[in-house]
Amino acid sequence: MGDTVKKEEWPWQDAYGDYSMVPVPKHEKRSFTSIFYVYMGVLACIAVLWGGGTIGLQFGLKDAILVAVIGSAILAVIGGLTAPMGGIAGTSTYVNMRFPFGAVGSQVFGTIVAGIACGIGWFAVQAWLFGIIVHTLFPNAAWANVGVAATWGGLLMIVTAIIGFRGLAWLSYLAVPFFMLIAGVGAMIGIANAGGFAGLMSIMPKQPAPLSVGITQVVGMYIAGGIITSDISRYARRAIGGALGWIIQIIVFQVYMLTGSAMLMLATGASDVAGALLIGGAGIGAFLMAILGQWTTNDNNLYNGALSFNTWIHTKKWHITLGEGLIGVGIAAWVGFAAGASMDPFMKFLTLLGKILPAIGGVLIADFYIFRWYKKIPFKKRYKPQPGMKIAIVNWVGWLSVGLGTWIGGWVMKWGIAALNGLILAFVIYVVLAIVFDAAGVKIAVGEHTINEKGV
């Protein structure tokens, strides 16, 4: 615990490293700038530009901007509401999930959101996209085969992920300015190739898509990040800092990156961002973008995944980081050798995330802001754990709300935005059932678990 922190002020044991199971102590809290830059390091990745490029293939510039703004606004609201949970409690998303889902539920849903979706799934996708970038730049080199590059690139990414939060912030400071520059260069290339801004505005896609499709893609692209903001905001000195950091980077910088990439794709007509940058003469920039952007984002993917796995695999965090990283590398290599540079796996992955994850965020928000208010728990004390605190093994209303919200919003409803449908449905179902059953004296918690000084 260190000499600077008295035991009565911080009665925990950080047995597993990086405060994965216990609140972050005051002396480890970081400035708004540090938190903001780590968020930006996650945003600075090829997947965002690739998503913007996809928008540019489906919409004219006016509609592309509208899709980017609406989708980003939805993500800003989600992350803006989940970030204060970590800032107030000082704990990760997966520890916070114990309250709306129970101890077992936090392990199950935390593993789905971060362990599988981020720590393994997104890590694999990002490593695979890295392989595509390298192959595009060096198509004739054996070491640049999509599967081969995804393998060695992913292995290198694992190394810095093991360093922890400080390593993430350090890489973010290097990658973020460069990534913003690349997005701006893409926009300028688009304007130049179209013969001016007016010419770019006049370009229409060959096969336009409904606005709802584009918005769903934007939300699905970053919905996992919107749910797990507490993994970073728990380090914020002020709870509002984590929320503002998330909102600013989404509303300002994500829209900027999506729009710049869409402009590039509209003007060049290329099938992917890497090819479009090469057409515009930005080959070296594309390579550096792959190195820095993929590296910082995949560090975060492994970092968040390890935090979730730590809720039920009680070992050092770097052991988990290594294990999930190796699984992700294996998947990335398999997709790279089987699918090559085809974008089908990427789009299917985004669609799946857009359907299965939002309901989990909806329940978290409903429990923290509405049910805890109904139970008259002060805002600054919500989700704050203490050694000896008793929590449910299973909160069955949380499980049911996620199941119904996901099924109805993602598969039954054929209109609207699937990600938003699932989130709102789960939110409403949880609020109604939790309050009604609690008022009727029906227990929504099953079993009892006591938190020890290690947070487990």
Provide the residue-wise pLDDT of the chain in tens; the chain has 456 residues: 444 444 447 888 888 777 878 899 988 999 998 899 888 877 766 778 788 888 888 899 999 999 999 999 999 999 999 999 999 999 988 889 999 999 999 889 888 887 888 789 888 988 998 888 888 888 899 999 999 999 998 998 888 777 655 555 565 566 677 777 777 877 888 888 778 888 888 888 877 888 888 888 888 888 888 988 998 999 999 989 999 999 999 999 999 989 988 888 888 877 677 777 777 666 666 666 666 666 767 777 787 777 778 767 778 777 888 899 999 999 999 999 998 877 778 777 877 888 888 899 999 999 999 999 999 999 999 999 988 889 999 999 999 999 999 999 989 998 888 888 999 999 999 999 999 999 999 999 899 889 888 887
If 0-12 CB within 10 Å is exposed, 13-18 middle and 19+ buried, where does residue 251 land?
middle
Contact 168, 299 (CB under 8 A): yes
Which residues have CB under 8 Å from 337's CB, separation 6+? 145, 146, 147
Distance separating alpha carbons of residues 16 and 302, to the nearest angstrom? 15
| CATH T-level fold of 31-356 | Hydantoin permease (1.10.4160)
Which tokens belong to 125?
Answer: 């996708």
71, amino acid identity: G
Output the pTM of the full model.
Answer: 0.84
- The rounded distance, in Å, linking the Cα atoms of 310 and 122 is 18
pLDDT of residue 302: 82
Measured between alpha carbons, how far is 75 from 77 in angstroms, rounded to an integer? 5
Distances (CA, A) of 372 to 115, 237, 319, 365, 431: 27, 23, 35, 10, 10
DSSP 116: I
Cross-strand partners of 446:
394
pLDDT at 435: 97
Identify the sign of the CA torsion 332, 338, 342, 343: negative
Say what the pLDDT of residue 376 is. Answer: 95
Give percent of the chain with pLDDT exceeding 90: 38
Residue spans of the domains in the chain: they are 31-356
In angstroms, the CA 16 to CA 164 distance is: 13
Please state, in angstroms and rounded to a whole number, the distance separating the CA atoms of residues 183 and 197: 16
Q: Measured between alpha carbons, how far is 452 from 440 in angstroms, rounded to an integer?
A: 32
Hey, what are 427's tokens?
A: 């939110």
- CA dist 346 and 38 (Å) reads 24
- E strands in 367-453: 390-391, 394-395, 445-446, 449-450
Rounded to a whole number of angstroms, the distance between the first and last alpha carbons of the chain is 17
What are 405's two structure tokens? Answer: 């919200």
The answer to whether 295 touches 100, Cβ cutoff 8 Å, is no
